[in-house]
Amino acid sequence: MILDPFRRHGVRIVALCSFGRSGTSFFMQLLRASGVTVLGRFPFEERTAQVSLLHWLRHALAAAGDESASPGSYGQATFNNALCTCSMLAEAHNYEEVLAVEAKLAEGIAAGARRGNRWLGEKFIGFDLVRMIRAFDVTNVVLPIFLLRDPRDVFLSVRRFNARRGYASFNDTGDDARLFETICRFEEQQIKDQARLRGVLCRYEELTDPDRRDAALRSLLEALSADPSPPAVAAAWKVVDASRAQVGHHITSGEPDDACGDARVPSKAAHAGLFVQQAERLVRLGYSAA
């Protein structure tokens, strides 16, 4: 199947599953600094393996005589109304060329990666696609990683992002209670799927806390079968810290808490009543309700 080019070359895939505004771009930078191949530039939206898998499914349906499988572009694919794009496949005109692109990528990762650390990292949209891939993944090519962040911070970041962009996104319909409940429910599902799919659970707060980030990164490196030694951890943080200025000025980034002084930006205090309604849920997710 479509993961075979990776399996043959000993390359595995990191599938990052997280709600938008949970620190995914920061996490992808951390993966790249740890020796994982991450395609494209910040905010890292290339989805090569996912687009390839969806084209493989389309090819299988067409071979079975399903006329609903339209040709479409091999540089993009739609799944659950979400558009996945891959510039690497933009020049592919048939299924065989999709396989060739993926095989070439796998060869490059295997040739250039550190010993024992041959990975391709991608952001995934929701849970359905990673569940589907894992269903085909009899040799454990895919490692799902679930990145959690305090739902209150995710909520405020979504609202902040939308204020800057001038339109609603990330499931923000203007109903604050519904948005916050959606975020909490999503994170509950992350924890369930982490156990079900034999994945890794990471918390954004541990990776950004100066006192805890070394231990959190060391655990991540161990999950990637990479070097978890203090020099390796320090080297990875040096790369990530050097790029913080670039990340901070990007449209998807924002000031912490209420520091930007924009009247459109929500504050924790203004939504305290909303947050307390989900206090029990917050505790179950591992966060203090205070």
Strands 12-17 and 119-124: parallel
What is the distance, to the nearest Å, from the Cα of residue 118 to the centroid of all Cα atoms in its chain?
A: 18
- Alpha-carbon distances, residue 3 vs 47, 75, 132, 142 (angstroms): 14, 17, 12, 9
Measured between alpha carbons, how far is 166 from 147 in angstroms, rounded to an integer? Answer: 27
- Alpha-carbon distances, residue 60 vs 51, 54, 65, 176, 192 (angstroms): 14, 10, 9, 42, 30
Q: Confirm if 60 and 95 have CB atoms less than 8 A apart.
A: no
Q: Confirm if 137 and 7 have CB atoms less than 8 A apart.
A: no
Q: What is the pLDDT of residue 66?
A: 52
What's the token pair of residue 32? 């790249």
3-class DSSP string for the chain = CCCHHHHHCCCEEEEEECCCCCCHHHHHHHHHHCCCECCCCCCCCECHHHHHHHHHHHHHHHHCCCCCCCCCCCCEEEECCEEEECHHHCCCCCHHHHHHHHHHHHHHHHHHCECCECEEEEEECCCHHHHHHHHHCCCCCEEEEEEECCHHHHHHHHHHHHHHHCCCCCCCCCCHHHHHHHHHHHHHHHHHHHHHCCCEEEEHHHHHCCCCHHHHHHHHHHHCCCCCCHHHHHHHHHHHHHCHHHHHCCCCCCCCCCCCCCCCCCCCHHHHHHHHCCHHHHHHCCCCCC
Tens digits of pLDDT across the chain (290 residues): 667 888 888 899 999 999 988 999 999 999 999 999 998 888 888 888 888 888 877 777 776 555 444 556 788 888 777 788 888 888 888 778 888 888 888 999 998 887 778 999 999 877 888 888 888 787 888 999 999 999 999 999 888 887 776 665 666 667 888 889 999 999 999 999 999 998 999 999 999 999 999 999 999 999 999 999 999 999 999 999 988 766 655 545 555 444 444 545 567 787 888 888 888 899 999 998 87
Q: What is the pLDDT of residue 55?
A: 80
Helix axis angle for 230-242 and 213-223, nearest 10°, is 110
Q: What is the pLDDT of residue 44?
A: 86
Domain edges within the chain: 4-149+196-265
Q: Confirm if 150 and 287 have CB atoms less than 8 A apart.
A: yes
